[in-house]
Amino acid sequence: MRDAMEKAWSDLVATARRSVADGLVVGTSGNVSVRVGDLVLVTPTGVPYDRLGPVDAVAVGLDGVQVAGRLRPTSELPLHLAVYRGTGARAVVHTHAVHATAVSTLVDELPAVHY
Domain limits for position 75: 2-104
Q: Identify the pLDDT of residue 38.
A: 94
User: Could you list the active site residues?
Assistant: 76
Q: Assess contact for 12 and 33: CB atoms under 8 A.
A: yes
Q: Assess contact for 43 and 58: CB atoms under 8 A.
A: yes
Q: Along the 115 residues of the chain, how does pLDDT read in single tens digits?
A: 789 999 999 999 999 999 999 988 887 788 999 999 999 999 999 999 999 999 999 999 999 999 999 999 999 999 999 999 999 999 999 988 888 888 889 998 877 777 6
Q: What is the CATH number of the domain that holds 92?
A: 3.40.225.10
Question: Do the domain assignments include residue 114?
Answer: no
Question: Do the domain assignments include residue 40?
Answer: yes
Question: Do the domain assignments include residue 26?
Answer: yes
Question: Do the domain assignments include residue 32?
Answer: yes
| pTM of the predicted protein model | 0.87
DSSP of 13-34, one letter per residue?
HHHHHHHHHTTS--TT-SEEEE
Query: CA-CA distance, 17 to 35, in Å (whole number)?
Result: 18
Question: Do the domain assignments include residue 78?
Answer: yes
Q: Assess contact for 34 and 80: CB atoms under 8 A.
A: no
Q: Identify the pLDDT of residue 115.
A: 66
The number of folded domains in the chain is 1
Question: Do the domain assignments include residue 60?
Answer: yes
